[in-house]
Amino acid sequence: MRTLGFRTHVLLAIAAAVGLAAVLSRPWYAAAPQATTAADPAIGDINGPLSSFFVGLERWVTETTGMTGAESLGYFGIAILAMAGIAALGALGALSQRAQAVGREALRYGSLAALAIVAWKLLDPPGSNAVIELRYGAFVALGCALILVSCGAEVCNSPLLRSKRKRSTFTAPPPPPAYESARSSAPPGT
């Protein structure tokens, strides 16, 4: 099985951070419709909690109306944007030999913090849960945060970059001295 390389994971982490920042302009929440109760259901009509769940799930994915993440999350949206920016800068820093230690830690903790905030706001939307329901922007943000964490973990777990050493060229040792029998003495031991 082929795995992705170091630079590919860095590129995907940066793309996920940009996607996480961009998805704040998409709808995250909208007002939930009022529940209707039928006084006399028709025979054969099964209108239970499961059918209303699938209708709600369809609204979560297909509806484009509602409050954007930036306007509904407030300071949490700014925190998501900041953590995505820290993670992207950390991914860029991991490419440099001098800044890779700091870059890896910024990528690791920035991506984990972004995932934690997005998951928290996915499970606990602002306001009452009976009044507000999710839209597709929150799910796209969760996907981007998961990609950011998984690619960031691969970047952080890869071997450290090392500088390339200059190869020394081979220089031959000097030739042994030549002894002339008339003017010099023989080497010791002969």
Q: Can you name the CATH fold of 6-34+47-157?
A: Four Helix Bundle (Hemerythrin (Met), subunit A) (1.20.120)
Q: How far is CA 102 from CA 84, 96, 108, 156, 160, in A?
A: 16, 10, 10, 11, 12
- Which residues contact residue 42 at a Cβ distance below 8 angstroms, ignoring those fewer than 6 apart? none
pLDDT for 1:
43
Boundaries of every domain in the chain: 6-34+47-157
Q: What is the pLDDT along the chain (190 residues), one digit of tens a residue?
A: 467 788 899 999 999 999 999 999 999 888 877 765 555 556 655 655 566 667 667 777 777 788 888 888 889 999 999 999 999 999 999 999 888 999 999 999 999 999 999 999 988 888 777 778 888 899 999 999 999 999 999 998 888 877 777 788 888 888 877 766 666 666 676 6
Closest residue by Cα to residue 135 from 66, 51, 35, 76: 66
pLDDT for 84:
96
- Ranges of beta strands (E only) in the chain are 27-31, 67-68, 132-134
Give pTM, 2 decimals: 0.73
pLDDT for 182:
65
CB atoms within 10 A of CB 11: 15
**Cα gap 10→152, rounded to integer Å:** 7
Question: Is 161 in contact with 155 (CB distance < 8 Å)?
Answer: no
